Structure 1
């Protein structure tokens, strides 16, 4: 009898070890048939995560063992929590089994007060660190989302603050919140956690909560000293070409009218064509310069040409004056270049990102040549002095006219009013991102959270 009990206990332990090796694919449903006497011991020893679906087939306990068999499902919300056993279905004698339970995510949407470990970072506006009456608390979109999940799924959480999102060291270890997840210390990480190719290999994410983009910001600058190029840029090149064409048309018209007037006006001696061209050109030039002429045009047709030319010139001068006043009154930012390639061509700007951030990882492990070159030439040499937050990086932009900083667009808009300078965004240099809550790789909570 003692040997039989030892053999039964050994079988239970082996079965418990086998349960730990079952795939976590929730589309697979496993069935384990046990005797009623060993079911309780098996459930006591087994570690069944929340996302592992195992049905236990056991006899219906007394006082109604004649009814047939009973299907139970068991799982633990957390590794050290109590085993939860739910009634799945009864297989009655002489009847077919037709279970129609709700999906797994809904059946297990009650964590029964389990405590989850959470790593959080001060990251406005997604997770905002606040202190009121000496008490530390958090707010923000991502934190509020997590707190709402805790109420709907009935769990509590133990939270601590981290200083960075985390980066991969040369030794292959992650720091910051990512390190908390990879080491199994934290169940979730709350901040604007960016989904990147490198991070997806080591941690999981909830479904994207926000779609955003990162942008490159520099200090806004203007051309405040007028020069010839500045003046000529008031009108576009096609418009200057049209003004020149109008002047040539006025000269040709004046020459033709003047020649015909002298030829058919019955004068004793008509001037030569070169002389007429010379006089007409200077007359039209004087009109464009708002200058008079030594002699008034002799014929009515010539006067009409001069008046028409003067009307056109007055229109051009009025438009130029209005555009000049608008240019002086309204400052238009001047961008040094566009696109990330411009940094490599210009070579006068310093490019920075937040230390241990997704942007740093994307540049460090970039596949395209431009981002890789930017990392090696502009970011890596200053890696030890990178800003540790967005506000610090944007403040450096204001203090250095040749400093460029990469930040999420919403974050820069949040801090823009508190900065001592205005910001300009480099066009064609933004990168789209998806933000979510970070989870452990293979987290049993991911599908249940996404279902909410």
Structure 2
């Protein structure tokens, strides 16, 4: 059961609405917002029998929790009015001077956001009543005023919401429902955020990074980098949808705001803290330190923080490349097939019933069969065709089996020769710690340090203690400089934003590759001041952009999806790549020459000894 408290201000004998109307409107409003908590505000002069009757009748009409609060008390008392997690409803039964003074105090203390407000008002000019009251853009303040008297004593009322687009603007009034004695409330079909999707040309101060400020002030007429392609376009869409203007500001070089724990915020977040801007547009990672001081507009982006290492090409002249197309287990299967076919061919030749007709012509014993099967495995021809059909079937089966294996091996082996492969000394953050010989680099930007220092993963915590904390003052100030250090040093890695790495790749003297499992994702978005009245409306429309695919399309414009991820710069096999094959060829030639010489020598020796015996 949710609790709702109503604050009522009642001037005895001066209320312009019948008791039943007050109760019926309140009950209808509570049912519409699915709440049961009511607070009734009153002053010392306004606490009379009508307020008591109102509360008793309200309790009788439903299971509502009610309470009263005196307007003579400090406005901080509103902070103690709870509703079990729901928004309480504060009700004024009249619009007298005491109510006006109290609302002025509440608005100065920014307490109008503590719940919904309902006022029964009978004065002619709502603008005059709220002239000195600051009505935040995101507050829900409802006023009920009579429209006319119906013929049979029925009453028709109008329910309007009152708010200001900006503290310097006059209050806006929008009808949200009509109420009649017979029909109750008839609500408009337009949701709250759509009703307020017009800021009537107000000007907002927008903070951007110092390098993006010239582009923002020139309306991105020339430059086409990440800020113009993504962030400026998103912000212009919001400007057009919500009808507001932007004034762009950049941070002062060297400015920062320090807080406890030796943590500092710099750049645009500092401008928000010092009330120099209202909103900051760029990719600002969400960290626990930042969330203590600033708010975020939804979750627009997911940033991949990856670790990069210099590409180290692995030479394809390694001897094990000849065996790598097949796994060890599969090579054992191939060897077994060779042995099986050797004995199968020999066995079918021995048991053939027509032994006497072909043994004098052909011989497929084990001594001769192994060379025949090995030739078939290497896709070579044979000098004679077996005379018996059992042997022929063994030949055909062996050819079909080995031609498939040979084609698969050739395809994989050619890909090994044509595609460059890179040596990876480790595959994750734990590997960086274990190897111990590589340097580690992150940009000297507070948010990068916070990611590791605040990490819950013990490996990332150890990375911070081992590499980051002792070397905080030695890190370069930008992502580009950090990646250049990786190119300059032989054993070095850098953990940076993957999108920024793609932007700066053409400015590096070497090629970098990502360590496969040394990365993590960080939510990011635009930033806005704490308790900003525009957070909900901006979040609503940016979420619509994300759901409709516009954000994805803008990012694809910056980083087009490649149609082919295979590197083609070294698609030809070089002499070095095929060196093992050439060595085998030369070794085979030399071995055959050696065997030839041995056979010649053996033959001459045999003839010599034979002649000696005969002679």
Same fold by TM (over 0.5)?
A: yes
After TM superposition, the structure 1 stretch with the greater mean CA deviation from structure 2, 366-375 or 220-229, is: 220-229
1:184 and 1:206 map into 2 onto residues whose CA distance is 17
Structure 2: stretches of 5+ with no match in the other structure: 1-71, 73-95, 148-154, 357-364, 542-615
Contact 2:306–2:498 (CA under 8 A) maintained in structure 1: yes
The match for 2:519 is: 430
Counterparts of 1:371 and 1:409 in 2: how far apart (Å)? 18
Backbone CA RMSD of aligned residues: 5.1
| CA displacement at 1:241 relative to structure 2 | 1.9
Q: 1:178 to 1:22 in 2, by over 3 A?
A: closer
Q: Does 1:19 align with 2:110?
A: no
2:532 aligns with one of 420, 443, 447: 443
**C-alpha distance in structure 2 between counterparts of 1:37 and 1:329, whole Å:** 82
* Structure 1 spans left out of the alignment, 5+ residues: 1-6, 61-66, 266-275, 291-295
Please state how far the C-alpha of 1:448 moved relative to its aligned partner: 1.5
Q: What residue number does 1:50 align with?
A: 137
Secondary structure at the aligned position of 1:334 is classed as coil
Q: Tell me, yes or no, if the aligned pair for 2:131 and 2:170 is still in contact at 8 Å.
A: yes
CA contact (8 A) 1:118 1:186 kept: yes
* Structure 1: distance between partners of 2:411 and 2:233: 52
For residue 305 of structure 2, the aligned residue among 214, 234, 239 is 214
SS of corresponding position for 1:206: strand
Aligned residue in 2 for 1:293: none
Matches within 5 A, 1:176-325: 176-224=267-315, 226-249=317-340, 323-325=412-414
| 1:302-347 C-alpha deviation (Å, 9 max, x unpaired) | x999999999999978876765554333212232222322222222
Cα distance in 2, alignment partners of residues 331 and 325 from structure 1: 12
Distance 1:166 1:427, change over 3 A: farther
Find the aligned partners of 1:362 and 1:134 in 2 and give their Cα distance. 32
Aligned twin of 1:113 = 201
1:378 aligns with 2:467: yes
In 2, the alpha carbon distance for the partners of 1:182 and 1:50 equals: 20
Query: SS state of the match for residue 207, structure 1?
Result: strand
Q: Which moved more, 1:183-192 or 1:165-174?
A: 165-174
Q: Is the 8 Å Cα contact of residues 279 and 526 (structure 2) preserved in structure 1?
A: yes
Residue 445 of structure 2 aligns to a residue in which SS?
coil
Return the offset for 1:94: 8.6
Look up the match of 2:501: 412
Query: What TM-score comes out, normalization by structure 2 length?
Result: 0.54
**Any idea what SS the aligned residue of 1:109 has?**
coil
Q: Distance in 2 between matches of 1:442 and 1:400?
A: 47
Aligned partner of residue 130 in structure 2, secondary structure: helix
Q: Is the 8 A contact 2:486 2:494 kept in 1?
A: yes
- 1:336 aligns to 2:425 (yes or no): yes
Structure showing greater Rg = 2
Q: Encode CA deviations 1:371-398: one digit per residue, 9 max, x unaligned.
A: 1011111222332233433333333333
C-alpha deviation, 1:408, in angstroms: 3.5
CA contact (8 A) 2:165 2:172 kept: no
